[in-house]
Structure 1
Amino acid sequence: MNDIKTVVIVLFITLIIAGCGRSGEECNLPEEYLDIPVDLEIVRMEELYFEGLTREKLLEYQDQYPEFSAAMFDNMGFADQDQMAEELIKIHQDSGMQELYREVKVHFDDLRSIESSLEDAFRGVKYHYPEFTIPKVYTFVSGFGSDLIVNEDIIVIGLDYFLPEDHPFQPVDLPYYILKRYNEAHLVPTIITALSSRFNHTDVQDRTLLAEMIFYGKAYHFTKTILPCTPDEYIIGYETEEITGSYANEELIWAHFIENELLYETNPFEIRRYTGEAPFTDVISPDAPGRIGRWMGWNIVDDYRINNDLNLQELMQQSDAREIFRKSGYKPR
């Protein structure tokens, strides 16, 4: 085991492969996606709450946008409507919040790029799931209180989280390896990955590492199918060198899982080592990216769908992780 670990460390440092697998290739969206009509309007709620907010306007917005109000404010513990109005006005008139809002306005003055990317994504979802209803999409500035809310009916984008990496306003409670994924390039893939959960059938009784790997693998496969032109880096949140290093060392990474009999591990602490947020997967190598089990699950799911000639709905409906693994015929590249 120590010999394999040493080899992995060396190879992660020294090996670069010429191709990036699914990343970095020329791509056009499928024509069948582009023919699907999508009616999307992004409502900029920050403009309503930060410019001349009064009690009367606030109560009007509560009535006009009930889904947004429920998503953003129902869990804030207000005793009644009077307290809610008083506190929300105080929050949105705060000088620091006003400055943050002005910075968001500068950097996100035009949302056409995000809107276009979301429209393409929703076209892809509707192609595979014709009954899919486009959720209402709102933007807001929460003072780094809420980055994304994604559910069946509503999406709320906390634009303050997606300011440029070098901007002086940054959330203070996030480590860099997570913070680096908060940018516009990762935004739509993150939304679609979150949205995939409603289609991702799972066996809740299966609490193995394999089940968690397959769950994430299906989520990333879903996102890649919906956004085929999006590089893997923006789907899983790895750097380019982490993608190429993982492909270069896939056989050795897989050997670690097999030799340590990890696939059917049920200890939550052990599972977290391979699928939880971390700067690296230290039990394999300090150069192995974190969440490497999710990446392995993605490869298994890719092989399962290809080798069994399934459409996306059929893949997402399969809840048996062991069956997916068994029929994937997975072998490291």
Structure 2
Amino acid sequence: MDSLEKTKDWITVMKRCLLVVCVVCVVCSCQRNPLKIDVSDVEIELAVKSYDDALFADRALTKERISELQQEYGRFFELFNYHMIGVGGPEDAGFLPQLKSFVSDTMIVSLKQKADQLIDKKALEHDFTLAFKHYHYYFPKKVVPTIYTCISGFNQSVVLADSLIGISLDKYLGADSPYYPSLGLAKYKTRNMHPQKIVSDALYFWAMTEYPINLTASKVIENMVYQGTLYYFVDAMMPEVHDTLKIGYTAKQLAFCQTSEAAMWSYLAEQNLLFSTKRMDIKRYVDDGPYTASFTTESPGRVGAWLGWQIVRAYMKKNPEVSLKQLMEQQDYLSLLNQSGYQPN
């Protein structure tokens, strides 16, 4: 009998252990991020070209050198000269002296040196390659863009055109860079001007270019949901990266949003702001800022975009058959909201 009882006890223990294992497996599977996919076998050809290195390598900038740069960098050469630093093109009489003045300017040279010290281009290429492997996985028919780096003298952080992304490295020298206060930039802006933000910024703007907002979207909630699709796109491209980096919040700001989610949503609904078509209401809840005026100073800017992100996450969780491509092509933002079942507690 003792032996039989021991056997029964052993079986009972094993059953309990098996139950625990099953529960753990279920919990883990529920919490597993479906966007964390293995892209190690995805093959892409992604080039990161350092226009800044090429431009500053020979500051004499003869006509022959200009011709070489124009031939090698093509469309980006035009974007940089016409739109980023505004010196025109080689056919313009003042082009060459203005470009020479730009590359010999003491501050511009200093920016180039500081960018070389702070930004690891090999790491940047690795991160872009990983992100665009995800992009090719989800959008196999789309072109993988060429990435160009440059020094623009504090002009656009990111420029985009067909099949290319241009990155102004001098806009990512770190929140404590002494250059930025002299430009009169607010702290909430400079906080995200650091090297780790380059890739997520580029992906956000790439998504915005590839999938522009429906021009009929005139309501606050429509703009919120659209912003949510852009951040969900970044989710899919960078599934291992923390939300704070994707949206540019501090840990404290993200915690505020998470604990205040239901209250913020209720406020917008009760004040009839979700369906407001006033431009200032859209800007107040979607655009960046030191905080969102309707809430406390502990709130971050763009809380509407963050809420839209949670709506899209809820929608994709509830509708797992919807592909990322289908999500990005969805322009009926109210339908997406209705199908999301979003109701924060």
Determine if the TM-score, normalized by the shorter chain, exceeds 0.5: yes
Per the alignment, residue 326 of structure 2 pairs with: 314
Task: After TM superposition, give the deviation of residue 31 of structure 1 in Å.
Answer: 5.0
Letter in 1 for 2:247: I
Cα contact 2:160–2:166 (8 A) shared by 1 = yes
Gap regions ≥5 residues in structure 1: 1-24
> Structure 1 pair 201/106, CA: closer, same or farther in 2 (3 Å)?
closer
Per the alignment, residue 45 of structure 2 pairs with: 39
Letter in 1 for 2:186: P
Per the alignment, residue 22 of structure 2 pairs with: none
Letter in 2 for 1:163: L
Cα contact 1:275–1:290 (8 A) shared by 2 = yes
The 5-angstrom pairing of residues 63-74 of structure 1 reads: 63-74=71-82
> Which among 179, 198, 204 is matched to residue 187 of structure 1?
198
User: Equivalents in 2 of 1:322, 1:70: separation in Å?
Assistant: 40
Task: After TM superposition, give the deviation of residue 27 of structure 1 in Å.
Answer: 8.4
Aligned residues: 308
Per the alignment, residue 249 of structure 2 pairs with: 238
The question of 1:262 aligning with 2:268 is answered: no
The 5-angstrom pairing of residues 7-46 of structure 1 reads: 30-46=36-52
Question: TM-score normalised to the size of structure 2?
Answer: 0.84
Letter in 1 for 2:41: D
The question of 1:219 aligning with 2:244 is answered: no
The question of 1:175 aligning with 2:186 is answered: yes
Cα contact 1:196–1:222 (8 A) shared by 2 = yes
Task: After TM superposition, give the deviation of residue 284 of structure 1 in Å.
Answer: 2.1
Identity over aligned residues, as a percent? Answer: 24
The 5-angstrom pairing of residues 153-164 of structure 1 reads: 153-164=163-174
User: Equivalents in 1 of 2:251, 2:38: separation in Å?
Assistant: 30
If you compute each CA radius of gyration, which structure gives the higher value, 1 or 2?
A: 2
SS in 1 for 2:166: strand
User: Equivalents in 2 of 1:277, 1:154: separation in Å?
Assistant: 25
User: Equivalents in 2 of 1:240, 1:132: separation in Å?
Assistant: 35
Gap regions ≥5 residues in structure 2: 1-30
Per the alignment, residue 51 of structure 1 pairs with: 57
Deviations 1:152-174 (A, max 9, x none): 31111111111132333336142
The question of 1:102 aligning with 2:110 is answered: no
Deviations 1:246-295 (A, max 9, x none): 11111111110111011110000122111122111121222221111001
Task: After TM superposition, give the deviation of residue 135 of structure 1 in Å.
Answer: 1.1
Task: After TM superposition, give the deviation of residue 190 of structure 1 in Å.
Answer: 1.0
User: Equivalents in 1 of 2:37, 2:342: separation in Å?
Assistant: 31
User: Equivalents in 2 of 1:106, 1:198: separation in Å?
Assistant: 31
Per the alignment, residue 296 of structure 1 pairs with: 307
Per the alignment, residue 326 of structure 1 pairs with: 338
The 5-angstrom pairing of residues 268-279 of structure 1 reads: 268-279=279-290
Letter in 2 for 1:142: S
Cα contact 1:101–1:141 (8 A) shared by 2 = yes
SS in 2 for 1:249: helix
User: Equivalents in 2 of 1:212, 1:27: separation in Å?
Assistant: 26
The question of 1:61 aligning with 2:61 is answered: no
The question of 1:91 aligning with 2:102 is answered: yes
* Deviating more after overlay: 265-274 vs 36-45: 36-45
Per the alignment, residue 133 of structure 1 pairs with: 143
RMSD: 2.1
